[in-house]
Amino acid sequence: MPTRIPFKALALVACLSAGLATPPAALAGPPATATPGATATTAPPKVLLVVSSEGRRDDKGELTRPGFEMDEFAQAWLVLRANGVQVEVASPTGGAVVADRYNRDDDTIQALQRDPEAQAALAATRRTQDVPVGAHAAILLIGGKGAMFDLPRDAALARLMGAHHKRGGVLAAVCHGPAALLAVQGPEGRPLVQGRRLTGFTDEEETVFGKKWAKSYPFWIEQRARELGAQWEEAALMMPKLVVDDRLITGQNPFSTPLVAEAVLRALGRTPLPRAAFREEASLQLVQQWLAGERAGAQALLASEPGRYKADLIAMLGHYQHGAASDEAGRRQAVAVMELAAPHFQHPQFRLLLAKAQAGLGAQQRARELLALVAAEGHTDTRARDEARAMLARQPG
């Protein structure tokens, strides 16, 4: 298991920054005009977003049961509505739904909070059993830990998706959303996913991030999907991954949500409009550019527009990938990701972790440089400073 960092973390990977860039104008809300290309007799397509009803809070506002992933919902809603698509929201029990913890300062969350239509939809979701077959061109299942509990056991949802797909509709799911696809029957009573290409939250990601709830899931998605005969595909830990198998569209984790939403648009015969990438999305794109060998360009972008990216997200992504790596090549790649963020994320605990990772790879000089920074800085983390000084005293040379 990777070393746990003793400072505040977000829902998936730690994220400490408080100052966020102003969301681009393209995210300010749904378009006020009709869909490009639509006519008075051709209404834009409808997409049904399905979220978990599992979430509960106590009198103090603390989660007692896990809910849906607000970040995924926000990204899917914003992409679809910016392209003029009608969006409706359903859940197993209907009514108001509770989300897992999320950062209210994120660009996508702020944009969603400014959208009264989105807020109204989440406050009064439709019951899945009340959704008629054929009312939507696509159904998109939103993830979140709650989705592991109620979506797979929602018989009405399984029937709806089976009939919807049989009629030629598009089925999509992201992160933990694919859990519900595993309950859907396809032709001749076989599992819909049998023989189909599929992705979702991986066993590796559950091992690293499952924490409280994963041990009580009825199953883990990857394992069950393989048992049902799906052709499982995945990217590295918490990297974006989109799989399109005809009218079955799946995304691996929350960072895959924009890819899934735009794939749904393409499956409906629409070309996604150009847009500014969300901050998390742009950050992961920067990592992909860095790992592809375009390091000078990635460094220049991060240095010139630091507010456009989440250096803390990049740092923690590298940290967790390092902890999960099974060989030296994987550890070196993870450390490279950490180094991309290092000039812009100067938290002493992160520098200490990076120093340990570099020392483990034999990069003693770089390790000493990082330890010296932690040992000398006038920060309040005396534990990190003391540990860095002790490590420096043990360093050779």
Q: Encoding tokens for residue 261?
A: 């939403």
Position of tokens 């003693």? 364
- How far apart CA 79 and CA 103 sit, in angstroms, is 19
How does DSSP classify residue 61? S
Distance CA 107, CA 91 (A): 25
Q: What is the DSSP letter of 68?
A: B
* Beta-bridge mates of residue 125: 95
Token duo for residue 396: 């050779």
Is residue 79 within 8 Å of 275, Cβ to Cβ?
yes
pLDDT digits (tens, 9 = 90+) for 125-150: 999 999 999 999 999 999 999 999 99
Q: Could you identify the residue written with the tokens 């009803």?
A: 53
How many other CB atoms are found less than 10 A from the CB of residue 226?
Answer: 14
State in Å, rounded, how far the first CA of the chain is from the last one. 31
Q: How would residue 191 be classed by pLDDT, with cut points 50, 70 and 90? A: very high
CA 128, distance to chain mean position in Å, is 24
Average pLDDT over residues 84-110: 97
The CA dihedral of 364, 369, 375, 377, to the nearest 10 degrees, is: -160
HSE on the CB side for 189, CA within 13 Å?
Answer: 0
pLDDT at 207 over 60: yes
CA distance linking residue 173 with residue 242, whole number of Å: 10
The span from the CA of 73 to the CA of 254, in Å, is 9
What is the token pair recorded at 353? 């972790």
Parallel, antiparallel, or unpaired: how do β-strands 126-127 and 138-141 relate? unpaired
Could you read off the pLDDT of 348-391 as tens digits, one per residue?
Answer: 999 999 999 999 999 999 999 999 999 997 778 999 999 999 99
The pLDDT of 146-160, averaged and rounded, is 98
How far is 67 from 47, CA to CA, in rounded Å?
21
- In three-state secondary structure terms, 65 is strand
Contacts of 189 (CB under 8 A, 6+ apart): none
Per-residue model confidence as pLDDT tens digits over 259-289: 999 999 999 999 999 999 999 999 999 999 9
> Would you say domain 25-33+41-267 falls under CATH 3.40.50.880?
yes
Structure tokens at 67: 């809910």
Question: Is 304 buried (19+), middle (13-18) or exposed (0-12) by CB count in 10 A?
Answer: exposed
Please choose, from the candidates 200, 193, 190, 189, the residue with its C-alpha nearest in 3D space to the C-alpha of residue 248.
193
Give 297-340 pLDDT, tens digit per residue: 999 999 999 999 999 999 999 999 999 999 999 999 999 999 99
Structure confidence at residue 287 (pLDDT): 98
Element (H, E) at 232: strand 231-232
The CA distance from 128 to 180, in Å, is 13
According to DSSP, the residues that pair with 50 across neighbouring strands are 90, 141
Residue 271 CB neighbour total at 10 angstroms: 11
pLDDT class of 211 with cuts at 50, 70, 90: confident
User: What pLDDT is recorded for position 396?
Assistant: 67
pLDDT confidence of residue 187: 84
* Predicted confidence band of residue 397 (pLDDT cuts 50, 70, 90): low
Sheet holding 46-50, edge to edge: 126-127, 86-91, 46-50, 138-141, 170-174, 248-251, 242-245
pLDDT of residue 12: 39
Residue 178 near residue 141, CB atoms below 8 Å? yes
Level-2 CATH architecture, domain 279-394? Alpha Horseshoe (1.25)
Strands 63-65 and 86-91 come out as unpaired
**The pLDDT of residue 380:** 85
What residue segments make up the domains of the chain, in order of their start?
25-33+41-267, 279-394
Identify the pLDDT of residue 64.
Answer: 96
In the predicted structure, residue 224 carries a pLDDT above the cut 60: yes
Work out the mean pLDDT of the chain and round it to a whole number. Answer: 90
Integer CA distances (angstroms), 23 to 28, 78, 111, 336, in order = 7, 12, 7, 29
| Contact yes or no for 87/264 (Cβ under 8 A) | no
